A and B are shown apart, each in its own frame.
Chain A
């Protein structure tokens, strides 16, 4: 009887020891993993300078610099960007208000110094490439997990980081990507690598996160590279001068700031 009880106790202990690993490695679904990426703590507000270097197949480089501020306001997020270079787009600003409700379209405005006024623009441009880079507007935003179906394919170690490999298929017809596959770092919930397949199912481009940093426990991607393998065109994106949770005034996300600039 005692022996039977000991065997039962040992079995429970063994189960308790393995449960955390089992829940990470096996119990999490693809959707749960992508939700953890989506809901990862990124602070209440963020500011920093974004530099994009566009490199074509001949190695020619063009540089775009942007100062950006964004802040969470409950169920909406507001972002404002000020274009610093190249000189012909200097003082252009762009503001985006996005909403948790996936049914509600983003609101977007642009201020072009040559026109001298703030203009509402269509947010129906998610598949447009941002400033000639290899990132679309949708790549730069937070795509809601409910917009795709997700499947955990396997676990794999890349660059020394143990990752979940999740395949995502869009629910809507005609979306610009027929499939994406994301390598998500376990316990950090950062997409370390992501492969994109075009509407015909052909391999289109790959995103590699080269570096990320912790700001008071909040992980921020500071260096990434998107390579369009079909065009052999790359965009190197670096995010610097980062400040998190500084209490950005809500007055930053207004027409006043768009026209005044930095």
Chain B
């Protein structure tokens, strides 16, 4: 959809005025941000020049609340605006139960920067993992019911409409390099039609206590990432593969998992794990039709958070394992990643320095993200940093040419 500026403005003004005119007086907060990033390895070309308006319109009372989170992205190199509703929901509260209906982001798990049991809200990966996490997660239309008993929570989520991971377009610098040039993408079977039989169901039990925190979860869902069914076409004269048609298709997926955290001698220990049943994987085994086979799959993490010399430090080790592995599978049996986070503040909290890194242990690649945030005024922050990719292959090394430096000026109100 390509809206005009006037339409957007009218929509926003209408929304705000209609709320306030009925005497509801909702609170309006949000931020305005300029984000300018340049590729350091490609003659300083801009990778992004983005202006953002992000609003939180909310109203709450003792037994109900609503929240709407409209956003507008303006890109300097595009005429059209990118706009939408990140969230728009109504909450109903009773003594022991909260019910949330509408478009919402649902976030589970104890991991930082990694999605293990955090599978309810799909991701927007059009700019890889670089945006803030509330911008990476997409809202889903769902009914969420939380029942509370002391410090225990039972949560049920029903999502009637499936939303897949949002991938970059082929011309984007963030388009994965894993597809050969002779691949033809056929999107004819990608859509999962909305309907009762295609809805998703998730359940979570969580408990927060003085000794430990725990979450147990299960989901009957669609795999947010499509399996690439492939058909090879041979050149009849040379009898070599002439082209490959890849048909992305989403499949049903069942998973169960949990997470745990506790503190021992000032160190917070965390773990999180998910076990997927019959996940689809690409294979080069000619016996498997469409180049797809089913395998169980485990994804887990252990991590520790601690303080060194006043700085917060966090380490995580993440492993993905394909069970009953067979050699022709495209993906490796094990995939090992680490994350490192360190941050500290100075000048009475005016300056915050942070270093975050994903480190791929199998391909010796990494994404290193130094960042400095300086508070210019109440709510006004200047943020500057870099995204540095090392290695030549793997999840991060494939973007080696995309090193960038950026600054953001953000005003929260």
Contact = CB atoms under 8 A, between A and B. Distances in A.
Interface stretch (B70-78, B159-167, B342-350, B389-397): B342-350
A68 interface: no
A116 B69 CA distance: 14
A120 interface: yes
Contact of B105 (A56, A116, A132): A116
Contacts of B410: 88
A62 interface: yes
Contacts, number: 115
Interface stretch (A140-148, A193-201, A253-261): A253-261
Given A86-B379, A88-B412, A120-B268, A132 B263 contact: no
Interface residues of B, number: 50
B266 A105 contact: yes
A229 interface: no
B153 interface: yes
A215 B24 CA distance: 35
B240 to A, nearest CB: 50
A78 to B, nearest CB: 10
A107 B410 CA distance: 33
A62 B375 contact: yes
A262 B310 CA distance: 30
A118 interface: yes
Given A254-B208, A260-B98, A129 B348 contact: yes
B108 interface: yes
A114 B412 contact: no
Given A105-B263, A109-B208, A233-B348, A117 B378 contact: no
A255 B307 contact: no
A117 B109 contact: yes
A87 B413 contact: yes
A255 B107 contact: no
Contacts of A87: 29, 31, 378-379, 412-413
B128 interface: no
A245 interface: no
Nearest to B411: A87
B306 interface: yes
Given A120-B261, A254-B151, A107 B108 contact: no
A127 B208 contact: no
Contacts of A107: 210, 263
Contacts of B91: 260
Interface in B264-296: 265-268, 270
B254 interface: no
Interface in B329-353: 345, 348-350
Nearest to A61: B378
Contacts of A13: none
Interface string A57-91: 00000110000000000001000000001111010
A109 B270 CA distance: 13
B305 interface: yes
Contacts of B268: 120-122
Interface residues of A, number: 44
B305 A56 contact: no
A97 B267 contact: no
Contacts of B310: 125, 127-128
A133 interface: yes
B102 to A, nearest CB: 16
A133 B348 contact: yes
Interface in B34-65: 60, 65
B404 to A, nearest CB: 21
A171 interface: no
Contacts of B381: 88
Interface in A27-66: 54, 56, 62-63
B412 A54 contact: no
Contacts of B208: 109, 118, 254-255
A235 B208 CA distance: 34
B148 interface: yes
A123 interface: yes
Contact of A122 (B65, B108, B306, B375): B306
Nearest to B349: A132
B134 interface: yes
A21 to B, nearest CB: 45
Given A127-B310, A260-B98, A115 B107 contact: yes
Interface of B: 29, 31, 60, 65, 91, 93, 98, 105, 107-110, 132-134, 137, 146, 148, 150-151, 153, 206, 208, 210, 213, 261-263, 265-268, 270, 305-307, 310, 312, 345, 348-350, 375, 377-379, 381, 410, 412-413
Interface pairs A-B: 10 shortest CB-CB: A132-B349, A124-B266, A87-B412, A116-B107, A88-B412, A87-B379, A132-B348, A86-B378, A86-B379, A120-B261
9 contacts: A54-B349, A76-B210, A85-B379, A88-B381, A113-B134, A134-B348, A233-B348, A254-B148, A254-B151
Interface of A: 54, 56, 62-63, 76, 85-88, 90, 97, 99, 105, 107, 109, 113-125, 127-129, 131-134, 231, 233, 251, 254-256, 260-262
